[in-house]
Amino acid sequence: MRKVKLESLQIGAKLARTIFNSEGGVLLSKGMELRDCYVTKLKQLGISEVYLEDDISADIELKDIIKGKTHREAKTLVKRMMSNYQFSPTLDVKEVKLMVNKILDELLTNDDILYNLSEIKSVDDYTFEHSVNVCILSLITGIGLGFDIHRLRELGVGAMMHDIGKLCIPMEILKKPSQLTVEEFEEIKKHTVLGYELLKKSKGISMISAYIAFGHHERYDGSGYPLQLKGDNIQICARIVAIADVYDALTSDRVYRKKLRPNEVYEYITTLGVNHFDRTVIESFVKYVSVYPVGTGVMLNTKERGIVVRDNRSAPTRPVVRIVYNSKMQKQSIYKEIDLSMFTNVFIVDGCEV
């Protein structure tokens, strides 16, 4: 299978993965042939990519880091919890704890933890998907740092609830499709303190989990908010969620901008982001996040184009690539696969559609 943008796919192409709606119901089933009306509906729902099964991506398997069913259940839980907040001044987090335990169990029994950005994201469901993805990314990083199970649970709950304070921010600001004014951004920044206050008075939430909502926008060099804390004065779980939050936000389409490619975000975090984030946390994070996710298209310096078939954990920027088009953009009759870790003179220069 391979991931393709809606504007690039051909009508009649077969879906390789079932697409679900925001309530977890089936929207389009695996194996269905895409029609114009289906594509139009997907665009209306804010979905910009799908997975296809075709000859050039045959036998390419994408391994989910957690079960798709678990991811959908977690997203539905966050959506329901946020929707119900207006009826109660506090939150009941028992279900959140159970969900974090379920996600943790699946991660800890996974033979090879690698975040491959496999979910089909919707602009309309960004808030709920983002909360779940940040939770997963944070837990992976915490596992890499050697956290014990108790701290992982606190990290997971805080990560899933890190943006809960946005429930107190006017919707017209949160969903504004253009650049925020200075005053509007100051209003947005309040979600950290508001979220902390909400979690602090909610039964069953630890102070570590609550603090994540407060500190996930602090930056290691002191350039963040709300208190401009520096270095180790920022609690370690908040430092982890800070990176996960930025990564998922930048790899997601928003109403005001298009997403960046995973490799572009990887470069940002490992280069420009070294002043903003804890280097030790960065090292753990990038170890478990795929630079070039399986099933995505890439262009080589040889001008050949292909699809990522497998990751190389020891050389994350040098995956195994199936060459589909030669340097003259001629489609190959037989697809060769090249392990970039074996060649110093061949490398990826950009992501692309194949």
% of the chain residues with pLDDT over 90: 66
* Range of weakest confidence among 26-30, 43-47, 128-132, 197-201: 43-47
pLDDT tier, 86 (very low <50, low <70, confident <90, very high otherwise)? low
User: In order of start, what are the domains of the chain with their CATH numbers?
Assistant: 2-53 (3.90.105.10), 68-287 (1.10.3210.10), 297-351 (no CATH)
Predicted structure pTM score: 0.92
Annotate the chain with three-state secondary structure. CEEEEHHHCCCCCEECCCEECCCCCEEECCCCECCHHHHHHHHHCCECEEEECCHHHCCCCCCCCCCHHHHHHHHHHHHHHHHHHHHCCCCCCHHHHHHHHHHHHHHHCCCCCCECCCCCCECCCHHHHHHHHHHHHHHHHHHHCCCCHHHHHHHHHHHHCCCHHHHHCCHHHHCCCCCCCHHHHHHHHCHHHHHHHHHHCCCCCCHHHHHHHHHCCCCCCCCCCCCCCCHHHCCHHHHHHHHHHHHHHHCCCECCECCCCHHHHHHHHHCHHHCCCCHHHHHHHHHCECCCCCCCEEEECCCCEEEEEECCCCCCCCCEEEEEECCCCCECCCCCEEEHHHCCCCCEEEECCC
pLDDT tens digits along 160-193? 999 999 999 998 998 888 888 999 999 999 999 9
321-333: average pLDDT: 95
pLDDT score at 119 = 77
pLDDT tier, 146 (very low <50, low <70, confident <90, very high otherwise)? very high
